[in-house]
Structure 1
Amino acid sequence: MTTLASTLSSVLTKASHHPVVGQLDDADCGPAALLTVIRAFGGKATLPDIRSQCLRDPRGASLADLVSCANHMGFSARAASGSLDQLQACTLPCIAHVVNERGRPHYVVVQSIGRTVRIGDPALGPRKLSREHFEEMWKSRAVLLFEDRAPVPPLTLHVPQIQWTLNLLMESKALLAQATFLIMLGTAGSILSSLVAAQLVTRSVPAGQSSSIYALAGALLGIGMARALIGFARHLFVSRASERLVRRLHTVLLEALLNVPERLFHSGLLGNHGARLVDVQIAQIQLLRSLSTIGSDILLLTVTCVVIAFISAALLPFLLIAVGILAIGLRRHFRRLRESSLRVASAYSDLEERFREVLSGSRDLRFANACSFGMNMYEQRVSTFAALQYRVASSLGSLTLSSELIGAMVLSGIVGYAAMHVLGGQLRRDELFMLYIVGGLAVPSIVRVLDSVNSLQTALVAATRIEELQTSSDRSSRSLSSTPVSIALETASLRRAAQMPVWENVNFVVRRGELVTLEGPSGCGKSSLVAVIAGHLRLTTGNIHVEGSDGQRLADDELEHVVALIPATTIIFSRTVLENIALGRPIPALTIQALAVEAGLWSLLERLPNGLHTVVGHGGHPLSAGEQQAIGVLRVLVAKPPFIAIDEGLNALDEPRAAQVLSAVVGSSWRPGVILISHSAKLRALAHTHYSLRVRENRNGHDAVTS
């Protein structure tokens, strides 16, 4: 490492403070500290992405790992050593390697140094230590500094705003007219019921006119029934408008996702990918919910204020003061609710991503099942999510209670102020009663508007997380150091979290232009073996080598760029077949058609109503399992990867068609190596090499697997 003094001239100018990112376990402090500093210097990244690059050892990340990750994400970082005085002369924040209270190596973010040292501890949060205390912890004198290089400019996601929605409604003038008419009817019904009730209480009852009482009571009942029918019609309208909005909104958000298709389907981000698809749904639902409520309730509040001002102009100043008091009273509660909602929304996405990782193994499982702390991490996230959810419910309850109390106070003040005008002869009793009823209608609308704004905020949080996926480091775009020609496993073993072997002492080789098949009983670890070859899992012991055409071996982290995986289940988007295959890549339809013909899959796609231009997915033309797998196969083939792993990705195709696909792929111009998991004897007969995983009884009485 260079001396700390040699880095002083190249350290970044002062960066803005950023909240400390919390660690998930003891091994996670390095990635969490690095993410804190990256965000402080204006970079954008996600913790799963940094973990996937830093944690090469289950015990934690080294300084070299953190330097490599920071450099790969667009920064120029270096490790250094020195004294606290030298560190104080540097521009902060930086990462320091310390020993925590338990005597274990740990990373913290040094944010400022003066009479005290302010640090961000991924385990404990912000801390303020004495200089002596920090120096006692900082025994290694090692730090990670960031030099002056601008981070990679983030991609921009244009989230649909209110203007976009208004433009959409303007395109649907019939729906807009219907919505306006229904809102006006509902508002008129509310005001009319107030007038009728006022006539009933203040005129007919004191006069003892029974016929008028019956008539007005019947009119009041009729108005109530009409308001109920109007509400039902409004609900139908919202459902119909929502269907149209969903399609447009789904297209906009999904286009944002597909702007970076290689990164979207990159093996290191599949867990994020699954969570972000849920985010698309969250954004749709919450935007529709908020937009369908805000308009009508704001109009109702506006009309209420106009009616109150019309009844008594003297009440208008008091009304404005009351609305201000209500807004100030609810501001603190609403801010707390918004912050809690942001936390719980992020925690939900994080929990959903971890759940997918733990069950499906789509991410690198050295952070989950393959390590003893994996399930503890998941359980910790569940507890965090549950606590945050309770906090949101508590905040929402406080908001509702406060809004009702403050609304009641404001309403009482309006009525009391108006009663003084009744005594002075400036206002009639029926007008006073109507003021009370109209004001009472406004309080629930205020609560609904605030709740709708919260829904809109949740939708924007989901859209922000979609942007995080786009701004993650683009590891998939870098070029390989050499053209890969073979992949080999040597005495490889993989163990689960409880140290139970998945398989042991496996030797396996696949070369370009070869078809290698893999068979074995259920649960013997075939999919895990493919996941290792595809770079999704790391071996417990043994080696994996990727040989290049120049005789050089490729680095381990290049493996995920070498092997493309065709899973048994294909995700289908609500787009055309062509867009589902191209995934944002500028690939002409004729190119995909020629590839489908060569692979023997065109007969499955040409029978669709509009061929490659048929809209499929939710609300589109239904696809059979074979048609879905044909799309999944073509997605991979258009990328022409050096190696293809098929984890029962052809099991929905009939054997002759699957055999044609395999022959076409292996014999194609770029001659990929193919690893196939299949129980079909006919397909195994096509293989150049065949491997079988078998279960044996080991000395401890547990099942182990060998090749």
Structure 2
Amino acid sequence: MAAMAKPPTDNAQDRAGSKRISALAELWPFIRPYRLMLAAAFVALTLTAMVSLVLPLAVRRVVDNFEGGATPLLKQYFSAALIVVGLLALGTGLRYYLVTRLGERVVADIRKAVFDRMVTMSPAFYENIMTGEVLSRITTDTTLILSVIGSSVSVALRNLFIFVGGLFLLFFTSAKLAALVLLIVPVVIVPIVVLGRRLRKLGRENQDWIANSSGSASEALLSVQTVQAFTQEVRTALKFSDVTERSFDSAKRRILTRAMMTVIVIFMIFSGVVGVLWVGAQDVANSIMTVGELVQFVIYAVMVAGAVGALTEIWGELQRAAGATERLAELLNAKDTVADAASPVDAPEMKNGAIVFDDVTFSYPSRQNMPALNGISLTVAPGETIALVGPSGAGKSTVVQLLMRFFDPQSGKITLAGTDLRDMARDDFRKQIAIVPQDAVVFADTARENIRFGRPDATDAEVEAAAKAAAAHDFIVALENGYDSYLGERGVMLSGGQKQRIAIARAILRDAPILLLDEATSALDAESERLVQGAVEKLAQDRTTLIIAHRLATIKQADRIVVFEDGQIVEQGTHDDLVAKGGLYARLAKLQFTEGSAAA
């Protein structure tokens, strides 16, 4: 958590310095399927802009005829004005509906696309990014994009049309006054461009800090029991406060820059308009133009000035959205170091196939100079039960990680039934593997659905049979709603042993030819362990099984025990053979069994 004192991404500075508003083009693939809705919104937007530009013409007619007292004409002009106002209201409502609906639809698609991509990324990807940051991008960054698609872009286009149309009508009304107005434009554009680039950079930095804050909060809340057990609530809160305050400081700089840009632009625009109006007033006094023409010019000038002011506001939003789009595009375009082959081969039938590790060397991405496995070779025959033992950090769990192809080895290869894992689609061969991980995972769902996660098409009877085999049935039926009891986030309603039995029941229900048990009974009491051990032994009879265990009593009946130390295989054999050899396994066995007997 201490690492949270800086923006989380290695190349954040480079990205923040990017000034490409064109990053918003990354949104087009998500907008393209809704081209008809976009076109309809564009028509409604154009209609409202045109109607807005017609109104000053009507006002001019009213003012000039009002001076002449032409009452019948006035009635006609006011009637026409009401029709124009009605069209404006209808067009505006239609534009709002279409654009807002389009924004919601596109953002929903983006969120699904990003999540679909993230849920398939290998664990290697998550060694370099916090899940809290990913969640921040899916939520906060997409909210910014929703603001842009559902509001800012349409408002920007409308104001752009009004600016261009209004400028043309300014020349139509008075070329002299319009030419004076044009002299203001370069003065206004300079601060928009210069400060806009600054806004873009600050917007990206601010989003990084927000994601950083979300990552910090997610990490702390997911580990809240540990935080409280070690009475680190205040320290953890201070760390989160520090990151949040840095996010606020970044937001302050962004807000200040945007406020400065707004002040400068509005002052330039309206002071220029005042000067031009003074010249126009002189023309009216000298009968060069009518009062109605001056009023028309004033309205158009205000509309053009307001459009420019709105565009400066929206420019800042577009800058922030461009940064958010870049961040989401990074996730969508992220390269996974573990990927399926371009043309994967079909996974063979694993029931009669061997598992082979051939001279495998592997280091985790975050620890490249510390090999977790160093040139290991291991063959597991079909139907064989192999136990992997050794000190913590010896490489046992890494074997399971590589066999599931969560990571790829730096050298050597792993084959299932003679086929290299890298030649098969991951989904294809993983369907033939059931795993009980070291940290039992329980979802925020019912007990029944947690077990059924192993095989979604399983019947209720099959779910209950698996729970009975895993010694989980009794405690499940004792819950308030039995199998339909909600287990809470991460199984907060259950003990560690109960969560492990749910995970074991899930693996039993999967009924796969390969079974991986990573410390599957470590949190069980003696009686539950004996019951589960019996179920596991029965399950392993016609399956290829790899068992990782520190408690050697649970693996004495394995067909073969493989002993790991410092990422290498140092011994292999049955329990009795290894004890007789007097090596590492014998020392571990002596410590456990002798101390266990003494303690008893």
TM-score tier, shorter chain, comes to: 0.5 to 0.7
Using the alignment, how far apart are the partners of 2:129 and 2:40 within structure 1? 48
Instruction: Tell me the equivalent position of 1:295.
Output: 157
Using the alignment, how far apart are the partners of 1:628 and 1:420 within structure 2? 81
Instruction: Tell me the equivalent position of 2:392.
Output: 545
Structure with bigger strand share is: 1
Q: Is the 8 A contact 2:62 2:77 kept in 1?
A: yes
| 1:282 Cα deviation after fit | 3.9
Structure with bigger helix share is: 2
> For residue 318 of structure 1, what is the amino acid of its counterpart?
L
Cα separation, partners in 2 of 1:647 and 1:328, compared to 1, 3 Å? closer
Greater CA deviation, 338-347 or 669-678? Answer: 669-678
| 1:669 Cα deviation after fit | 2.1
Segments of structure 1 that go 5 or more residues without pairing to the other structure are 1-23, 46-157, 486-510, 515-542, 565-584, 600-622, 636-645, 692-707
The answer to whether structure 1 residue 378 and structure 2 residue 249 are counterparts is: no
Q: Is the 8 A contact 1:275 1:352 kept in 2?
A: yes
Q: Is the 8 A contact 1:265 1:273 kept in 2?
A: no
Using the alignment, how far apart are the partners of 2:319 and 2:400 within structure 1? 36
Superposition pairs for residues 57-456 of structure 1, below 5 Å? 161=23, 163=25, 172-204=34-66, 206-250=67-111, 253-254=114-115, 257=118, 260-266=121-127, 269-278=130-139, 280-282=141-143, 284-288=145-149, 289-331=151-193, 333-335=195-197, 337-361=199-223, 373-422=235-284, 427-456=289-318
Using the alignment, how far apart are the partners of 2:448 and 2:107 within structure 1? 25
Cα separation, partners in 2 of 1:626 and 1:285, compared to 1, 3 Å? farther
Cα separation, partners in 2 of 1:267 and 1:350, compared to 1, 3 Å? closer
Give SS of 1:672's match.
Answer: strand
Greater CA deviation, 372-381 or 344-353? Answer: 372-381
CA deviation profile, 1:171-229 (whole Å, cap 9, x unmatched): 5453243223212221122122111111222321x223455445544543553343233
The answer to whether structure 1 residue 481 and structure 2 residue 373 are counterparts is: yes
Instruction: Tell me the equivalent position of 2:560.
Output: none
CA deviation profile, 1:319-374 (whole Å, cap 9, x unmatched): 33221122234455545544443333222111111111111139x989x9879854
> For residue 392 of structure 2, what is the amino acid of its counterpart?
H
Greater CA deviation, 319-328 or 656-665? Answer: 656-665
Instruction: Tell me the equivalent position of 1:144.
Output: none
CA deviation profile, 1:641-700 (whole Å, cap 9, x unmatched): xxxxx964998x999996642336797525332547999999866433999xxxxxxxxx
> For residue 545 of structure 1, what is the amino acid of its counterpart?
S
Cα separation, partners in 2 of 1:658 and 1:411, compared to 1, 3 Å? same
Instruction: Tell me the equivalent position of 2:518.
Output: 673
CA deviation profile, 1:450-475 (whole Å, cap 9, x unmatched): 33332232233234445777589982
Give SS of 1:443's match.
Answer: helix
Using the alignment, how far apart are the partners of 2:73 and 2:96 within structure 1? 34
Cα separation, partners in 2 of 1:666 and 1:472, compared to 1, 3 Å? closer
Q: How many residues align?
A: 434
Q: Give the TM-score of the pair, scaled to structure 2.
A: 0.56
Q: Is the 8 A contact 1:186 1:227 kept in 2?
A: yes
Cα separation, partners in 2 of 1:664 and 1:649, compared to 1, 3 Å? farther
Larger relative contact order (Cα-Cα within 8 Å, sequence gap ≥ 6): 2
| 1:278 Cα deviation after fit | 3.1
Q: Is the 8 A contact 2:160 2:307 kept in 1?
A: yes
CA deviation profile, 1:90-142 (whole Å, cap 9, x unmatched): xxxxxxxxxxxxxxxxxxxxxxxxxxxxxxxxxxxxxxxxxxxxxxxxxxxxx
Using the alignment, how far apart are the partners of 1:586 and 1:425 within structure 2? 86
Q: Give the TM-score of the pair, scaled to structure 1.
A: 0.49
**Overall identity of the aligned pairs, in %:** 14
> For residue 669 of structure 1, what is the amino acid of its counterpart?
I
CA deviation profile, 1:257-304 (whole Å, cap 9, x unmatched): 568433344497334333343355245324424433332222222211
> For residue 507 of structure 2, what is the amino acid of its counterpart?
L
Cα separation, partners in 2 of 1:190 and 1:628, compared to 1, 3 Å? farther
Cα separation, partners in 2 of 1:236 and 1:595, compared to 1, 3 Å? farther
Cα separation, partners in 2 of 1:325 and 1:682, compared to 1, 3 Å? farther
CA deviation profile, 1:552-591 (whole Å, cap 9, x unmatched): xx9xxx7996899xxxxxxxxxxxxxxxxxxxx9737765
